[in-house]
Amino acid sequence: MKVFTNGCVSPELLSALKRILVPNRTMFLVNVNQPAQRTDGEDGKQQAFFETFSGLCGLSCNIYEPGMDFGFLIDHIERYKLRRKIRMGLAHPLVGEPNSHLDTSSFPEVARRIVEFVSRCDRHGITVSLDCGFTLCDFTDEQLGIMTRAQTSMKFICDPIIDIGPDLRIWACLPLSNVAPRPLAEFSDMTAAIVHFRELVNRVTDRHGFYGLYPECRTCKYRQRGTCVGGYRTRAFTGDGQCSSATVVKKP
């Protein structure tokens, strides 16, 4: 079981987790912010989480500024003896409310920084995975080659991953968390939930004629082959940060 978390839990919950989890069946993917944007409380809780579950924790980092320096992730791995794997994802527009995210004009600079970081990680024996939302053409052939040699996991997709809230409602993914969430109990299994939200996303993207982030996506052979879906499809639900014609239900 893979659990996405920021690791900021109370001492009581940390102790309870330690008692009940099955180590060989559990992995935590802990999202860590840049040092300058972490609070003292956040630092302290994450440190306690890492010290308790070090061998079960991999790191995650969401990119929301073009000039981010990712070196602190390597420092965390070495300091706390964490799993030598890092997930990197793009912060996408959040439907129905403002949030910090990248403009597509920043993607070339972000791609350059990612590739430089991947090379650093490779020298430290750390592998990197790129989460959904990237496009194939964000990277040059040379950059793709460098990442391939470093065994970077790259899937240029955008598909529901299903988030589950504390109230046991589910939605397609974090950027679409305000779009028609449903009770978990409505679905017989996770496959049924994925199919439901995939159909929802497909209906909206088809209705808006959304082919990808760039004009070139419409006729791109790699999109037609299924190699790349054209980036994050949240854009089909938004316009200048405002909700389009999709059904938005605010979570309490």
Distance CA 17, CA 9 (A): 10
61-93, pLDDT tens digit by residue?
999 888 889 999 999 999 999 999 999 998 888
pLDDT lower than 70: segments of the chain: 239-252
State residue 117's pLDDT score. 97
164: Cα within 13 Å, side-chain hemisphere: 12
pTM of the model: 0.86
**CA torsion angle 169 173 174 180 (round to 10):** -50
